[in-house]
Structures are given as C-alpha cells and as structure tokens.
Amino acid sequence: MESKGELQEKGQHSGKMAALTIGALGVVYGDIGTSPLYTMQECFHGHGLGFGRESVLGVCSLVFWAITLVVSVKYIGFVMRADNRGEGGILALLALIPDEPRTKRALTAVAVFAIAGASLLFGDGIITPAISVLSAVEGLGVAAPALGHYVVPLTVVILLCLFAVQRRGTGDVGKLFGPVMLVWFVTIGLLGAYHLARNPAILAALNPVHGIRLLTAHGFHGFALLGSIVLAVTGGEALYADMGHFGAAPIRRAWLLAVKPALVLCYFGQGAMVLGMAEPPARLFYAMVPQGPAIYAMIGLATLATVIASQALISGLFSLTSQAMQLDLLPRMRIRHTSHELEGQIYLPEINAWLGAACIAVVLTFKESSRLAAAYGIAVSGTMAVTSILFYFVARRAWNWPVLKALPLVLGFLVIDLSFFGANILKFVDGGYVPVLVGLLICLVMINWRRGRTYLENIARKRLPSPAEFLKKLGDAKGIRRPHGTGIFLVRTPDVIPLPLVRLTESLSVVPETVLLVTYKVRHVPYVGPSERDFVKSLGLGIHQIEIRAGFMENPNLPALLSACVEKHRLPVSLDEAVYYLGKETFLATHAGQMGAVAEKIFAFSSRNATSAVSHLNLPPRQVMEIGTQMDL
C-alpha cells in the first residue's frame, strides 16, 4: 500500500504533467491545430476530382493517413527520440551528428542539408501567420457577405498588433495559450462529431484503399491533390522543434488524447457534411457552424487560435535564429530576453521587423487564403524531407544503427515527404516561389557567412604566431613594457595568438602584466553543466589561456562566466579594472582573395551589420578597446 507521501508526490507529478500537456496544446499544436480552417476546402476545390462519394472518402482517407504516418509514426514515434539533451529542431538534430557542422572545411554536405531545411522554415514563417489569420477572418464573409471587403484590412491590423507585442514577450499571454487551444480542439471535435453522427458512412475512409484508389484513378490530378493534403500536417515539425519547452511525454500525450482525435473528428465531420452534396460550400469549415451568433463566436475563437499558431511559429523562428548564431551560421543580431525565469523566451527586433513586413506584404499581395495555399506546402514538405535525411545520419553515426534497420525506415519517410514536395512544386509559379526564394536567400547568407568565417580562421592560423612562439619572442625581447593591469583578448582559435595582442606587441611594445586569452566556445549541446563550463591553462609570463564553454541555447554573458571562472580557479585578476581588446577587421573584397570579390562583399556587409561583440557578449563598453586591421579573404 502506498504511503501518504508517495500519494502526494504522485499527485504533484500528475498535476505537473497535466499542466505541461495543456501548455503543449498552445505552443506546440497551434499551427497543425488550425489547419482544418483551410485544408479540406483546398482539397475539394481546384483539382477537378468531383464531389462524389469516392472522392470525399478518398480525400478523408488521405488526410487521416497523412496525419497518422507523418505525425504519429514519424515525429511522435521516431524523430522525437533524437533529442539533444531534451532539445529538438533541425539544428539540434544536426548537432547530434558527430563532427557536424564544423570540420576542416567550411561546411559538409550534411550541414548544407540542415541549413537548407532551417532556411525553408523562414519561408514557412512568412506564410503561416498570413494564411492562418486570413483564413480565420474570412469567416466574416460567410457570416455577413457585406463585410467581405473588410477581411484583408482587418487581417493586416491583427498582424500588426501581433508583431508589435512581441517585444513584451509571451510570458503573460502564454498562460492563456493552452486553455484557449483546449477550447478550440474541444469545439472543432464536437462540431465534427455532430456532422459525423448524421452521416457515419464517412468512417469508411479509415480504409486506406479509398485514398490509394483516388490517387491512382485520377493520375496527374490525384498526384497534384497531395499538394493540398500536406496542409493537414503543416506544423508537424513543431512537435520536434518545441520539445525542449515541455518534454517529449506531454507532447505525446497532448497529441494522442486531444489533438489527433479532435482533428480527425473535424476532418471527417467536414467530409460527412459534403458527402452527397453536388457542390461543397466555398468556406467549408464555417459551413459546419450554425448561422447566427454561433458563427461570430467561432470566428472570434478561430482568430484567437490562429494568432496563437502564428505566435508559436514566430517564437520558434526567434529560437532558430539564436541557435544559428550560436553555431556561427549567421552574423550576430540583438537578442532580448523577455523572461527572467524562462531562458528560451527571447525577442529579436530585426527578425521581428523583417518577418512582420513580409507577412503583411504577402497578405496584401495574395488577399485570399485559397491563393496563399498555393504558396504553402513547399517549405513544409522540404523541411520534412531534410529532417528525414538528418535522422538517418543520426541513426547511423550517433546510434550506430545498421543500414538494414535505418535505411528502410528513412526511405519510407522520404517516399511520403518527397511525394508531398513533388506535388507542391507544381504550385511554384502560383505562389510557391515565395517561401522558396526566401529560403534560398537565407540559405545563401548562412553558407556565405560560414565560408567567410572559415577563411578568416584559416588566415589567422597561417599568419599569427602560436602561443609557444609568442612566449619565446616575449621572453627574448627587450624593451617590452608590462604595465600593471589585466588585458583580456578574445581568441577565435586557441592555437594562435589574437591579432590585437600581436599588434600591441609589435607596434607599441606593450603587453599587459596579466593576459587572459579567452576562447568563447559554443558546444553542440543546448546547455553546459558547471563541471564542463571552463578550462584554464597558465602559459607563463603572466599569460593564461581560458576556454569558456556554453550551449547553443544559452545567453552569452562573458563577464559573468569569466568572473565565475576566475573565482573557481583563484586567478590573481581583477575583472573590474580589466580591458577587453577586440579586433576590428575591414575586408578589402578584391579578386586577389580566395573567397571571391562578390562573396566577400556580401560577407563584409553581413559583418558590418552584425551586432558587435560588446553587445553580443555583454561586455562593459567602458572597458573595451578595438584594434583594427585590413585583410582580403
């Protein structure tokens, strides 16, 4: 028999699990949870399939098995096992692969795949808020056709408000996310159950034969239909990307107990409603709701749900950008933490402004969710394919799975992913080019930045002395002044002396009495424990080599980390009086360099507009001195 204390502990655990599960409804499932607003509508319009019994059963069957195979099997069953100390996402998945993304080369082929997938998420980030909010507000045209011309202006106003409040953080608003989405899922589930009960013949769609028959019977049109079916699984990538916020167990529970049942009921309810109709209504989702006050209430609830879905994706892009910067795949940008308790709640002003402007431009350009649906899907399916490929490398290299175990599984995933991707390519000229071009631009920026940083590191290794060579010269040299104080020099590669220290020695014959050669190293893990945080090596002549390690999810605060290191290792250093010496490179971008003039100009532009090391590492500005140099990559 369990003791009172054991019962209390079990009750507390159950309560915490319930809270995390409800929270996951809001943050993780906002995107996929609002897909019923437009998915079935797109499937039944524009593909020339007709609206007979076999077409309706086939569409419902394809939607059901897409959700089951992609979300339940692929992400819930397999991909979520690949957690990087509890964190997920494409860049976290890349970090699990040994020797990725950094090697002697700038980037490996696998790292390029990961960058391509991460870049496509930015394209997805433009479309998702636009199509989600627009599809919800379009209910006004159903409730009162005279209000139809207010749909686009109202959508723009909602998006403006959404991006304007990002600077305040999601802490307070986030408490409402889970309960609102719970109401949403219960509501759409009950609506679907009502229509399903009136026409239970739709349950025959559980048989996958109906979906296969629809695809084979209609040939090209059947294949093109997959471009709309994929809308049912948009947001599936968030299951993995947001795993660190709630843990795998609450996300799985939320899916199995609430999200999947509600989605299946809603989709099948829509199918049951149109079964036998000569022509389905234009706004299929809102046709499920009785006319009158109920439809206005549903428009309000749908708008809240789509704002939550958009918020979740915006926050995810903030996190993705931060991870890319930590892995040195993007230039530094300003990061503001919006919570003193939750480290993952961050705000990036530049990304927020760019994303908001792009979303509003997309709404003003396409004006209807049906037209936006043509632009949706390429980024999602492309990202899903990249995740499958990276999962294979994790299974083979990190988990040591045999080929016969890993390859058939991943090939099965890729058959589905690439089928969706191929069908969506057909929509390229109808708007699919938008997320592709955005993703391509981000991808090129990432690759070019990494190449430039690699060339910079290689030049440093060739031209700058090693610590041993510098110590020998310093010991043998005469006339070198060693003024009292501490000089902190940031080092990209610990096997060479940083350029500012070399310039001080050669040009001014000055070396501070105490020198700290500090390497700030981002590990391929989300967080670094205290025992692995730092490493100190005394080289002699008052010079100390220090390596500070941090995870790619951590906020860089070098003075605080250095202070802890100095105290831990009892170094005779006063950081309050120390001077941080930073290098300031000017890139010439001529044809003489290896990188190429155009590529180097782009890298130079990115470097000039990057947030300074002072801001990025939270250095005290009054204690910073910059020493410039010119170079050609």
Minimum mean pLDDT among 78-82, 344-348, 568-572: which range?
A: 344-348
Residues 408-422 have a mean pLDDT of 94
The pLDDT of residue 333 is: 84
Burial 367-403 (b: 16+ CB within 10 A, else e): eebbebbbbbbbbbbbbbbbbbbbbbbbbbbeeebee
Confidence band for 380, pLDDT divided at 50, 70 and 90: confident
Distance in angstroms (rounded) separating the CA atoms of residues 166 and 162: 7
Residues 119/446, Cβ–Cβ less than 8 Å: yes
Choose the most confident range, by mean pLDDT, from 98-102, 290-294, 460-464: 290-294
User: DSSP secondary-structure letter at 612?
Assistant: P
Place of tokens 């530094």: 332
Partners of 336 in the β-ladder: 347
79 with 220, same domain: the answer is: yes
Final residue belonging to a domain, choices 420, 451, 482 = 451
The DSSP result for 495-560, as a single string, is TS--HHHHHIIIII-B--SEEEEEEEEEESSS---GGGSEEEEEEETTEEEEEEEEETTSPP-HHH
Whether 8 is in a domain gets the answer: no
534 with 584, same domain: the answer is: yes
The phi, psi pair for 584, rounded to 5°, reads -130, 105
Distance in angstroms (rounded) separating the CA atoms of residues 375 and 109: 28
If residue 78 lies in a helix (H) or strand (E), which one and from where to where? none
The pLDDT of residue 15 is: 58
294 with 422, same domain: the answer is: yes
Residues 483-490 have a mean pLDDT of 90
Hey, what amino acid is at 19? A
Distance in angstroms (rounded) separating the CA atoms of residues 567 and 558: 14
Between 577 and 205, whose confidence is greater? 205
Residues 482/512, Cβ–Cβ less than 8 Å: yes
Residues 595-605 have a mean pLDDT of 85
Whether 308 is in a domain gets the answer: yes
pLDDT above 50: residue 575: yes
Residues 60/267, Cβ–Cβ less than 8 Å: yes
Confidence band for 389, pLDDT divided at 50, 70 and 90: very high
The pLDDT of residue 26 is: 77
Whether 560 is in a domain gets the answer: yes
Minimum mean pLDDT among 48-57, 346-355, 422-431, 449-458: which range?
A: 48-57
Whether 504 is in a domain gets the answer: yes
Residues 377-397 have a mean pLDDT of 90
Whether 313 is in a domain gets the answer: yes
pLDDT above 60: residue 81: yes
Partners of 580 in the β-ladder: 488, 624
Burial 524-552 (b: 16+ CB within 10 A, else e): bbbbbeeeeebebeeeeebbbbbbbbbbb
Confidence band for 171, pLDDT divided at 50, 70 and 90: low
pLDDT above 90: residue 413: yes
Confidence band for 103, pLDDT divided at 50, 70 and 90: very low
- Counting the structural domains of the chain, the total is 2
Q: 237: domain CATH number?
A: 1.20.1740.10
User: 211 lies in which domain range?
Assistant: 23-451
Distance in angstroms (rounded) separating the CA atoms of residues 3 and 539: 59
pLDDT above 60: residue 344: no
- Nearest 5°: the CA angle 525, 325, 622 is 110
3-state secondary structure 389-441: HHHHHHHHHHCCCCHHHHHHHHHHHHHHHHHHHHHHHCCHHHHHHHHHHHHHH
Distance in angstroms (rounded) separating the CA atoms of residues 177 and 310: 12
Percentage of the chain with pLDDT > 90?
25
Distance in angstroms (rounded) separating the CA atoms of residues 26 and 37: 17
435 with 495, same domain: the answer is: no
The pLDDT of residue 367 is: 84
Distance in angstroms (rounded) separating the CA atoms of residues 427 and 421: 10
The pLDDT of residue 177 is: 77
The two tokens of residue 193 are: 């159950």
pLDDT above 90: residue 268: yes
- Note the Cα 480 to chain centre separation in Å: 50
Distance in angstroms (rounded) separating the CA atoms of residues 232 and 15: 31
Whether 17 is in a domain gets the answer: no
pLDDT above 60: residue 513: yes
Residues 376-380 have a mean pLDDT of 81
Query: Rounded mean pLDDT of the chain?
Result: 84
Whether 541 is in a domain gets the answer: yes
The pLDDT of residue 8 is: 43
Nearby residues of 124 by Cβ (< 8 Å), 6 or more positions away: 234, 313, 379, 380, 383, 435
291 with 429, same domain: the answer is: yes
Final residue belonging to a domain, choices 451, 481, 502 = 451
Q: How far apart, in Å, are the Cα atoms of 240 and each of 80, 519, 546, 591?
A: 6, 31, 35, 44
The pLDDT of residue 272 is: 93
User: DSSP secondary-structure letter at 218?
Assistant: S
Distance in angstroms (rounded) separating the CA atoms of residues 379 and 122: 9
488 with 433, same domain: the answer is: no
Place of tokens 């003039």: 597
Whether 457 is in a domain gets the answer: no
The DSSP result for 231-254, as a single string, is GGGTTTHHHHHTHHHH-HHHHHHH
pLDDT above 80: residue 468: yes
Confidence band for 339, pLDDT divided at 50, 70 and 90: low
Confidence band for 357, pLDDT divided at 50, 70 and 90: very high
pTM of the model: 0.80
405 with 476, same domain: the answer is: no
404 with 498, same domain: the answer is: no
Residues 610-633 have a mean pLDDT of 84
Distance in angstroms (rounded) separating the CA atoms of residues 210 and 200: 16
- Helical segments of 97-242, H only: 109-137, 139-143, 151-164, 171-198, 208-217, 219-229, 237-241
41 with 152, same domain: the answer is: yes
Final residue belonging to a domain, choices 418, 451, 484 = 451
Neighbouring C-alpha atoms within 13 Å toward the C-beta of 238: 27
Verify cis geometry, omega within 30 degrees of 0, for the bond prior to 101.
yes
435 with 474, same domain: the answer is: no
The pLDDT of residue 105 is: 55
pLDDT above 80: residue 338: no
The two tokens of residue 367 are: 């004006």
The two tokens of residue 52 are: 């007979």
pLDDT above 90: residue 555: no
The DSSP result for 315-364, as a single string, is HHHHHHHHHHHHTTSS-----EE--SS-TT-EE-HHHHHHHHHHHHHHHH
The string of pLDDT tens digits covering residues 308-336 is: 888 777 877 887 888 788 778 888 888 77
3-state secondary structure 100-127: CCCCCCCCCHHHHHHHHHHHHHHHHHHH
The pLDDT of residue 372 is: 79
Between 631 and 49, whose confidence is greater? 631
The string of pLDDT tens digits covering residues 36-66 is: 988 888 888 766 666 788 889 999 999 999 9
31 with 79, same domain: the answer is: yes
Task: Give the Cβ contact number of residue 19 at 10 Å.
Answer: 13
Task: Give the Cβ contact number of residue 208 at 10 Å.
Answer: 14
Choose the most confident range, by mean pLDDT, from 68-82, 371-385, 494-508, 517-531: 68-82
471 with 576, same domain: the answer is: yes
